[in-house]
Amino acid sequence: MSVPVKSLAIVYHSPYGHTAKVAQHIATGAEQVGVRVLAMNIEQIDWEFLDQADAIIFGSPTYMGSITAAFKGFMDSTSKRWRDRLWQGKLAAGFTNSGGLSGDKLSVLQQINLFAMQHGMLWAGLPLSPTGSSEMDLNRLSSCLGLMTQSDNAPIEVTPPQGDLNTAIWFGEYVALLLNKHF
């Protein structure tokens, strides 16, 4: 008897491409574990896949210490799913990217976490001890609630730094392993 392949949706907003780049690295990590992944910008939501997915990772840039207005619009558009408890019991996680080292990214992860909790989802944080503070280190921004990455004001070809992208791959693997082990 074969075990069905688990599915993971990554839903993000990425006006400049940096958050999309992080989402793709998360997807790479999850796919390495054998999970079926669909990453989607909030402007092109595959609602059927999202509703059927075993896990959803949400991502938004940090703008002025908050999620983007467009991501808030996506969150608001899920009210019928909230009412019908369609996502209850799914695994959830979150990520954010900003130009500043802090940029108040924790506030964004808290907003995404609360959104997932309102849907009755089960939260997966980032249980990876920081390995240092250079741009090559894993979890250099010392986050526990979810994945934080930082992009300089530069083209997506050169930022976020490799350590942040490697952390995104690690995060995708971690969420996929949790999904395969517990769901």
The residue to which tokens 């894993």 are assigned: 138
Rounded distance, CA 78 to CA 83, Å? 9
Q: What does the pLDDT read at residue 183? A: 84
Q: What does the pLDDT read at residue 1? A: 66
**Per-residue pLDDT tens digits for 102-159:** 889 999 999 999 999 999 999 999 999 998 889 999 999 999 999 999 998 889 999 9
Rounded distance, CA 13 to CA 93, Å? 15
**Per-residue pLDDT tens digits for 61-79:** 999 999 999 999 999 999 9
Joined together, the tokens standing for residue 128 give 């990876």
**Per-residue pLDDT tens digits for 3-17:** 789 999 999 999 999
DSSP structure string for 115-171: HHHHTT-EE---------SSTTSTTTT--SSSEEEE--SS-TTT-S-HHHHHHHHHH
How many C-beta atoms lie closer than 10 Å to residue 120's C-beta? 14
As a whole-number percent, the residues of the chain with pLDDT over 90 amount to: 91
Rounded distance, CA 6 to CA 138, Å? 26
In the predicted structure, residue 83 carries a pLDDT above the cut 70: yes
Ordered by start, the domain boundaries in the chain are: 7-182
SS3 113: helix
In the predicted structure, residue 91 carries a pLDDT above the cut 70: yes
Q: What does the pLDDT read at residue 3? A: 72
pTM score: 0.97
Among 1.10.150.130, 3.40.50.360, 3.40.630.30, 1.10.3300.10, what is the CATH number of 7-182?
3.40.50.360
For the chain, give the mean pLDDT.
96
Sign of CA dihedral 77, 50, 18, 139: positive
How far is residue 43 CA from its own chain's centroid? Answer: 16
Joined together, the tokens standing for residue 173 give 């693997």
